[in-house]
Amino acid sequence: MPAIMLQGTGSDVGKSVLVAGLCRLFANRGLKVRPFKAQNMSNNAAPTADGGEIGRAQALQAQGCRVPPSVDMNPVLLKPESNTDAQVIVQGKVYGKLRAEDFNDGRTSLIGPVMQSFERLRAESDLVIVEGAGSPAEINLRNGDIANMGFARPAGVPVILVGDIDRGGVIASLVGTKAVLDPEDAAMIKGFLINRFRGDVRLFHDGYRSIEKSTGWRGLGIVPWIAAARSLPEEDAIPADMAGKDGVTIAIPLLPHISNSDDFDALDAEASVRIVHVPPGQALPGNARLIILPGSKTTISDLAFFRAQGWDLDLAAHIRRGGHVLGLCGGYQMLGKTIADPLGLEGTPGEVPGLGLLPVRTVLTEDKRVTEVDGISLGDHTPFRGYEIHCGRTELDPGAVPLLQFSNGALDGAVSQDGRVAGCYIHRLFDDPRQRSRWLAKLGLISDGIDQTVRVEAALDAFAAELAGCLDIEGILTIASFAS
């Protein structure tokens, strides 16, 4: 069954978005397409219908295929908890932890589930589009590799190598990749494409031909900077703050282990909103009308980091000025009175004080809740939909006011007596225009009312149409047909 794999000359060359665009392009041609990434490292995850989780990039790619996300699309997900260890998710469920020094041996043992998932996708599709991770040129990682050539060779999937010309040095990065690869690995690469070209493509004609001559690979096209691609979420990138954009400021502190940063994409798309991501060493802006504490993979250490920056003092001043505060998932836990970790899941067992802005207390637990949810905001009954991915149980103090009610009657979140501080476990809360309108109204703003799913659908179609005009699509299908 046909399959093709996009690998890159490095990280962040645009592989994830290119796969999403190609998925939509071939789906629009009537093919049953499925995305696949053997191993992803990201704290940005999305739920699947069967209660599992995968990287958000694969969820976007599934949307490109017009199919629900499946755990088989990303069978191994590594969620970093520090610089030296990561939680391992295998086929959607928590598998354990890996330390950096054990990565090679530990990942090699996961090739079985990886191949199992890939074969299931292959059996149900006309075409599987596979995304690599980082670069195959990282030959120091080759022995434990299951994400690039360590997958492509045993699976028999031909490779297209992606180079990012916007970074500079694209000729050297493509030709150099072939030079450092083992000959059998290099033989898997059948073509290349250039991504993020600016200007007159004719000026790169000689460079393009030199790559073909030096590598023997087939050139499959040059992708320019495409506006629609910038509307699609990257795998891990925090969107660049839009310099010069007018609008009411919403500030988001950049925690070391921030998770699900795509929670704010729908807000960022609003013309009346200016999102400011606050890096370490800078104060939370005094002109912010809303400060959002984002999700975190390691709530306790990120809370300590938050305090070390003096952001707790900035937040208190913000509230005194009449500003609004919202905590999502780990950010919600931070807003409470205490966070207890009796099992030492995030380090030494114990309990730490929260920011004390909501009358709730959290206990971290081994069990992870991963599910899609819907319901209403209590008070005004505004509908919402979203999902939960978290470890921990949060209890409200007697008399505390919950924020949301699920359709099954369960309650979630909390809101302060004056209504200015709130928190909940729901990711992608702002994707629903009804909830986004509700929150922007608190800031005196009117939402554009566009559902984020509709916005992403339009971007996928526009991006796919642009790819059809600049890539050798028939050449890609020909290479895919060589899959064994």
Question: Of residues 141 and 361, which shows the higher confidence score?
Answer: 361
pLDDT in tens, 46-63: 999 888 999 999 999 999
Please report the pLDDT score of residue 235 as a whole number.
67
Which secondary-structure segment (H or E) carries 197?
strand 189-197
Residue 238's pLDDT band, with cuts at 50, 70 and 90, is: low
Q: Which of 5-9, 45-49, 121-125, 465-469 has the lowest mean pLDDT?
A: 45-49
Neighbours of 390 (CB within 10 A): 24
To the query of whether residue 390 is one of the catalytic residues in this protein, the response is no
Candidates 257, 277, 318, 427; catalytic one: 427
Please report the pLDDT score of residue 104 as a whole number.
67
Q: Mean of the per-residue pLDDT values for the chain?
A: 95
CA angle 277, 281, 283 (to 5 degrees): 65
Average pLDDT over residues 188-207: 96
Q: DSSP letters of 69-115?
A: --GGGSSEEEEESSSSEEEEEETTEEEEEEEGGGHHHHHHTTHHHHH
Q: Measuring CA to CA, which residue among 77, 453, 450, 130 is closest to residue 236?
A: 77
Average pLDDT over residues 91-118: 85
In the predicted structure, residue 178 carries a pLDDT above the cut 70: yes
pLDDT in tens, 321-370: 999 999 999 999 999 999 999 999 998 999 999 999 999 999 999 999 99
Instruction: Indicate the SS3 state at residue 332.
Output: helix
In the predicted structure, residue 132 carries a pLDDT above the cut 70: yes
Candidates 65, 329, 391, 424; catalytic one: 329
- Sign of the torsion angle spanned by Cα atoms 261, 163, 21, 27: negative
What interhelical angle do 56-65 and 452-470 show, nearest 10? 70
Amino acid code (one letter) for 239:
P
Residue 439's pLDDT band, with cuts at 50, 70 and 90, is: very high
Most confidently modeled range among 108-112, 306-310, 388-392, 451-455: 306-310
To the query of whether residue 318 is one of the catalytic residues in this protein, the response is no
pTM value is 0.94
In the predicted structure, residue 392 carries a pLDDT above the cut 70: yes
Q: Helix, strand, coil: what percent of the chain each, to 5?
A: 35, 30, 35
Q: Measuring CA to CA, which residue among 237, 260, 238, 258 is closest to residue 370?
A: 260
In the predicted structure, residue 32 carries a pLDDT above the cut 70: yes
Please report the pLDDT score of residue 241 as a whole number.
57
Residue 377: both structure tokens together: 């905001």
- Sign of the torsion angle spanned by Cα atoms 55, 59, 64, 66: positive
> Domains along the chain?
3-231+457-480 (3.40.50.300), 248-450 (3.40.50.880)
Burial 227-262 (b: 16+ CB within 10 A, else e): ebbebbbbbbebbeeeeeeeebbbbbbebebbbbbb
Residue that has been written with the tokens 């469920």 in this structure: 93
pLDDT in tens, 254-264: 999 999 999 99
Please report the pLDDT score of residue 481 as a whole number.
92
Average pLDDT over residues 389-398: 96
Please report the pLDDT score of residue 102 as a whole number.
72
